[in-house]
Structure 1
Amino acid sequence: MTKQFSLAHLTALGCTPPEMTYLAARAGYDFVSLRPIYMGLPDEPNYALAENKQMLRQTKAALRETGVKLLDIELARISNDIDPKKYVPAMEVAAELGGRHVLSSIWTNDRNCYIERFAELCELAKPFGLTIELEFVPIASVTNLAGALNVLRTVKQQNAGLMIDIHHFHRSGDKVEDLDAVPREWFRYLHLCDAPAEIPTSKEEMTKILREARLYVGEGGIDIASIVNRIPEIPYSIELPHDKRAQELGYEEHARRCLQSAKDYFEVHSLKQQIR
């Protein structure tokens, strides 16, 4: 089966959704993963397509003209102070653009709160034909595979799934064998990148790497093959923010190298499998 790749918005966050769609097409991607939920982070561009109708029309035209598909949108954070209904306009946009999934993660330690709100988010997504993919993040509240699986098994929502980020999986210290216990239908796509093998001891350093200094696939020290071998064949969304390289190379060349390094890695790994 031919592997399919998506360009995640964090890899080229300076590009608007229509710009990134055209860029992804030129670089050879099958999908884009957009960020139309504005989170108000420092220096974060506002791509709230539900509020910017002109940009929404331009994005729709870019998808139509290029044939690139929308894989997912992000990020529907679960926290004490965000009502999940806030994400409905972004879900409407995702459905209008042909998207499949909504990425979510949990940023409150109040278990009753996050179980209730994650379940509500899943219910809100159902009329749009969208799935909610839970990502565990080592700097958030649900930080590892066990925590994410506990949420999914508690809410028991048919449209809920698990989104593995290669960086976060490695940083969380999870074991690849534990992926065998995950229902296969919970895997719908994953985030692909690389990073140094050494796990930072400080939250600040971990945050810096995950937000602005991830590495091309095969360039770091994560045993990526051991992780993807435990997961069904699903699209790979390359989330690889690297501020310095993006500035030096430009977003398009950076995105192209992200994709080529991934393809090269999988080609070599495939050869290794055949040799075995």
Structure 2
Amino acid sequence: MTRQIFLSWLTTAPMPPCDMITVAKECGYTGVSLRALRAAEGDNIPQLLQDQSLRQSVKHRAAAEGIILADMEIVRINEGFTVRSVEPFLDLCAELSVSAFLVAGDDPDLSRLTASFNALCEASRPRGICPALEFMPWTSVKDAKTALSVIEKSGAHNGKIIVDALHVARSSTTPDDLRAIPPERLACFQICDAPAGIPPTQEELIYTARQARLLPGQGGIDLHAIMEALPPDIPISVEIPNKEGHAVRGATGWAKDAFSATVSFLNKEPAR
């Protein structure tokens, strides 16, 4: 079995997407995950929505390098969310032929959030793309159980879930919760490591997630238990932003380290 391994946007951010595609090819990644909407204020992202020539360059570079444009980030569903506000983003995803895009659930009213997710799935379906809800402990969708509940109650057939190792370890999610997710509902597994334990503040949770993740095997997350609970062929997205790693190795060197550590970990996993 050939495992798909993607280079996530945060691992090399804010590297320009064409450079990211070339680096992914050099390192051995199968594909890349890009970002076109900000996750937070001040997020430095490529102007894929605004710059048609950049979109064309990305498509041509990916085709030339044989790199998959795996998914796109990030739609945030808050209390005022409307599908109309993200339709240009959906068109971008369709134009670049990504299969899924990341969704964060910020609306504290889970019934309204579920309805919004359903509307997003309906708008995405004719474009051939799948909204993928990622549970994060500082959002309204804090764990795998909540994510699965939103997906099932939405009734949308193209809704999926992204499993992030860091968010599994820092939420109430258990391996049994992961096993309960139907395989066809899983978009990918975002791999990383981190120190054991759960930081006491939301600010520390977010800082680790965006600036201080560790390479697989360097922290205290039980990655083996998580992997055992997921399908053996689930795509792996290497999401390991690390400010210090970038400073020492540069973005390209860090991407190489992240790929090598991920492959080494996967090779140690028992066959299933």
Coarse TM-score class (shorter-chain normalised): over 0.9
**1:127 has 2:132 as partner:** no
Q: Which residue of 2 aligns with 1:248?
A: 248
In the alignment, the residues of structure 1 paired with residue 85 and residue 17 of structure 2 have an alpha-carbon distance, to the nearest angstrom, of: 20
SS in 2 for 1:92: helix
Which residues in structure 2 correspond to 1:157-236 (within 5 Å)? 157-232=156-231, 233-236=233-236
Gaps of 5+ in 2: none
SS of equivalent residue, structure 1 residue 250: helix
Matched residue type, 2:240: L
TM superposition shift of 1:209: 0.6
Partner of 2:46: 47
The answer as to whether partners of 1:177 and 1:230 remain within 8 angstroms in 2 is yes
Task: Give the partner amino acid of 1:30.
Answer: T
The question of whether the paired residues in 2 share the 8 Å contact of 1:49 and 1:90 is answered with no
Cα distance in 2 for residues equivalent to 1:251 and 1:122 = 34
With 26-35 and 86-95 compared, the bigger mean Cα shift is at: 86-95
Amino acid at match of 1:146: K
- TM-score of the pair, normalised by structure 2: 0.95
CA distance in 1, matches of 2:50, 2:122: 23
Shift of 1:40: 5.3
Structure 1 residue matching 2:148: 3-state secondary structure: helix
- 1:191-211 per-residue CA deviation (whole Å, 9 max, x = no partner) reads 111111111111111111111
Distance 2:37 2:244 in 1: 25
In structure 1, give the amino acid aligned to 2:108. Answer: N
Distance 1:174 1:214 in 2: 19
What are the ranges of 5 or more consecutive residues in structure 1 without an aligned counterpart?
none
- Looking at structure 2, the residues matched to 19 and 88 of structure 1 have their Cα atoms a distance apart, in angstroms, of 27
* Most deviating of 7-16 and 172-181: 172-181
Q: Secondary structure of 1:163's partner?
A: strand
Q: Partner of 2:147 in structure 1?
A: 148
Measured in 1, the distance between the counterparts of 2:199 and 2:37 equals: 29
State the alpha-carbon separation in 2 of the partners of residues 188 and 111 from structure 1: 21
Counterpart amino acid of 2:254?
A: H
Contact 1:78 1:84 in 2 (8 A): no
Q: How many angstroms does 1:39 deviate by?
A: 4.5
Task: Say if 1:165 and 1:190, in contact at 8 Å, map to a contact too.
Answer: yes
In the other structure, the counterpart of 1:265 is 265
Q: CA RMSD in A?
A: 1.5
Deviations, residues 149-206 of structure 1 (Å, cap 9, x unaligned): 1101110110001111110011003110222222121112111111111111111111
Counterparts of 2:44 and 2:52 in 1: how far apart (Å)? 16
Equivalent residue of 1:32, what SS?
A: strand
Percent identity between the two aligned chains: 30
Secondary structure in structure 2 of the residue aligned to 1:103: strand
* Separation in structure 1 between the aligned mates of residue 210 and residue 202 of structure 2, nearest angstrom: 12
More off after superposition, 208-217 vs 240-249:
240-249
Q: Deviations for 1:214-269, whole angstroms, at most 9, x for unmatched residues? A: 00011111111111111111110111110121122111110111011011111123
Tell me how far apart the structure 2 counterparts of residues 8 and 162 of structure 1 sit (CA, whole Å): 16
Question: Are the counterparts in 2 of residues 37 and 87 from structure 1 also a CA contact under 8 Å?
Answer: no
